[in-house]
Amino acid sequence: MASNRSVVITGGSRGIGRSCCLEFAKSGADVVFTYYKSKDEAEQLVVELKKIGAKCFAFQVDVGDYNQCQQFAIKFLDKFPKIDILINNAGIIKDKALFMMQPEDWLNVINVNLNGMFNITRNFITTFMKQKQGSIINISSLSGVIGLPRQTNYAASKGGVIAFTKSLAKEVAAFNVKVNCIAPGFIETDMLKDLKREYLDKAIGQIPLKRFGSAQEVAKVALFLASQEADYITGEVIQVDGGLGM
């Protein structure tokens, strides 16, 4: 499905990003991913991807820093003649009730989750337009669709991802570039580890499918959206949430 295509995945060393790297590599893509702090995990993933047979590179990038994103795009385009797929996945959470939330809790989440998506996409968008082809997939969250308590910062950032996706999809459709969004619900990644057991049990009780999703399930949706089978899909938000957002 992704043979002989290049994919850039931000926040690729862990969680959903890691699963995206593996799924696209298995499908024949060349994989380039960014990471922020998880150097050991990134190096281990590179080894795994090369064993699969993928051409792979990892770059340490703070997506919240526009200049770093600009330099990353330049380095990528030095190694590859074009970019076929961009997956904006990098994200953080700093959950707190609003009355306890500090300004840095708000700013850090907005800077990574929303500004980071702008910083990366802005530095690749003209290449996509010149190519007149490509797929951009932004990872939002169910929290950005329905809102969840103690996540005003996260929900605002992920709601912004959805609005960004729809606006950009309309801008670049004439260039044959499609832009879509995935809004995962409760997915079994490191982000769930800090949540209390009673909260998780309550969440499962509210999910129609009565389980949490896997990062691989999200990655497979990303692989579909980047495929030729999805060439007539753009500006969409696909919820991968077990029915929680119905």
The per-residue pLDDT for 1 is: 60
Looking at residue 111, what is its pLDDT? 98
Write down all domains in the chain, each with its CATH number in brackets: 6-240 (3.40.50.720)
153: CB partners within 8 A, 6+ apart: 94, 101, 105, 106, 109, 110
Q: Residue 82: its pLDDT value, please? A: 94
Query: What is the tens place of the pLDDT at every residue in 199-231?
Result: 888 989 999 999 999 999 999 999 999 999 999
| pLDDT for res 200 | 86
Q: Compute the distance between CA of residue 216 and CA of residue 30 in angstroms, rounded to an integer.
A: 18
User: Pick from 188, 224, 222, 220: which is nearest to 207 by CA?
Assistant: 188
Distance separating alpha carbons of residues 24 and 206, to the nearest angstrom: 32
The DSSP H or E segment spanning 134 is strand 134-139
Looking at residue 3, what is its pLDDT? Answer: 76
Give the pLDDT confidence score for residue 120 in this predicted structure.
Answer: 98
Query: Residue 193: CB partners within 8 Å, gap ≥ 6?
Result: none
Tally of helices (H runs) and strands (E runs) in the chain: 10, 7
Is residue 31 a contact partner of residue 223, using CB atoms and an 8 Å limit? Answer: no
How long a stretch of residues is the chain? 246
Secondary structure (DSSP) of 37-87:
S-HHHHHHHHHHHHHHT--EEEEE--TT-HHHHHHHHHHHHHH-S---EEE
Among residues 36, 66, 154, 199, the one annotated as catalytic is 154
Two tokens, residue 139: 């990872």
Residue 232 catalytic?
A: no
Digitized pLDDT (tens) for each residue of the chain, 246 residues in all = 677 899 999 999 999 999 999 999 999 999 999 999 999 999 999 999 999 999 999 999 999 999 999 999 999 999 999 999 999 999 999 999 999 999 999 999 999 999 999 999 999 999 999 999 999 999 999 999 999 999 999 999 999 999 999 999 999 999 999 999 999 999 999 877 777 788 888 989 999 999 999 999 999 999 999 999 999 999 999 999 999 999
